[in-house]
Structure 1
Amino acid sequence: MKKTILTLLGLYLTVFTFGQTNTTKLIEISKIYKDFMFRNEPTKQVFKDIKANVPKNLKVGIDFIIQTITTKNQLLTRKFLSRPDDQTLKQIFIINAINLNLNEENRADNNKLIDSLMNANIPMYELVDNYYGMLFTAVGNKNQPFDFSKINFQLKDYKLKDDTEKGIFFLRCMDYCGKTVWGYMNVANPPNTTKAFDNIKKYPTFNGSTYYQYTDFYFMDFEMNIEQGKGKQSYKGYYLNKYYETLLTHLICLNKENGSEKEMKDLLLGSILKERKLYKYTNYKDILEELFKEEK
């Protein structure tokens, strides 16, 4: 009972504190994020404006937004890879929601949007997903050329609270990594496995091991809005499916680019390619079952 009361009190204080922030500043930051989240680089005046009159309880969130709009960022340092506190996660979620709203012709009033989201009980995993989605999107937009080959993501160091949050971090990171080879495999005709394999070789390690050896995906699935206009979707159904595509692309590249039999076997048996219990989350179920078909 006491724990429940403290939890509710914490939620109330989060909403109350957020309600005291400067709404005008929040909208200003969101507009700047919209204008500079892709390739445009902010001027010195933009940085001066964004840092001016920042409410104390918005400082951490705005520091993150500053990193996402510049090429000279520290997004891949422990400071920003680490999970922010719950209040900051919600602030960043609202900034992104305003950004999306600003791209709509029939947009909602931003003040009303802030008020509704401020008082909404947004699931924590959705807030965590939004944060790492924005982080790795910014890395993709600002940190070129792609090269994670010297990066080892130590998930235990990032204040992630459970296997679900670690899974979100991993899947969001690998979703970005997968996008770096997608064009070579799906746009180029014929597929350019040489270029794709070059990027696969630049994938990061996780907890000191090759990326595909991360297999902790047996957390409970949950639903959230992922693709616009499709309503709530299975999180694992969406992101594990994309990750399976990345693994299969890796396998194809090994086959086409003269990878060794050992490399292919390590990928097949050391990754979730063999995890039949997870096949329900992917459209590649038939292909995977064929790969591991038992000899009769």
Structure 2
Amino acid sequence: MKRLKCLIVLSCLFITLISCKNHETKTNVENQELETTEQKIVAKFSNKGHEFVFNMVQNVGNYKTLAQKKDVIYTYTYRTPDGKEDISTEKYIFKNELSYGAYQKHERTLPELEGLMEQGYDGETYWLKHNNQLVEDDKMLERVAFNRPTNYYWFTMMQKLLDPNLIYKHVGTTIIDKTPYEVVAVTFESDTNHPKDTYQLYINKKTNLVDQFLFTVVDYNKTEPFLMVLEYETVDGILIPTKRKYKASNWNADVTDEPWITVNWTNITFNNGLSKDVFKP
């Protein structure tokens, strides 16, 4: 009788193992099919420039990888050659691109507001506070409506270079200080006649990183480019260009004797469990 029970138990165990194995095999096949499908999707590049940008983004960490970190807090420091400085604590939630900045120092951004200045975007509204009091000035709110998405974009730029409605053009290959680069121009599609910014990326062929790029600021009538030079560090598995400097240039990215404006990001932490209430006025 005991022998019969043991045989029954062993038979059930064997059937269970076979069932699990079949489920595992089926799951693996499904995953392989899914991966194959995804590879087919991402392989549809519009041109060579698009492919170079795609490969660079996979190298630094794509938007899915970034979004999985939920949110970020970091210190933003902006210095101009004349000694003016902005220092803010930046907070973003990646879903819906919520953005907040608390400026402990703002000598170049609304310097007339002495003391703590807070800016925010809650997914619908841009708002401004000065010493914990809401500011309703339209001109100042226009500045907030520029700063919030701009600061967010700069932080997530490498990932957002694969956003929809972007146009890529492979300009060619060049050598700067013995380093070979693929040069790719990126512009934005527009359903209006309003001009859009242009970015010209210099992708290092050895490291597959954007070492520098040219950019315009059309919102402020800056159609001649600035040159931005980058240095990276790895934070929680993502390569982030935390040290940045820029100045006026031309479309050949010639370096002049003009002084640099510097922008540094420090104390970067992801997955802080930020509440959406942080972004409400």
Query: Which protein shows a greater Rg?
Result: 2
Q: If the length of structure 1 is used for normalisation, what is the TM-score?
A: 0.21
Q: If the length of structure 2 is used for normalisation, what is the TM-score?
A: 0.22
Q: Which has the higher strand share?
A: 2
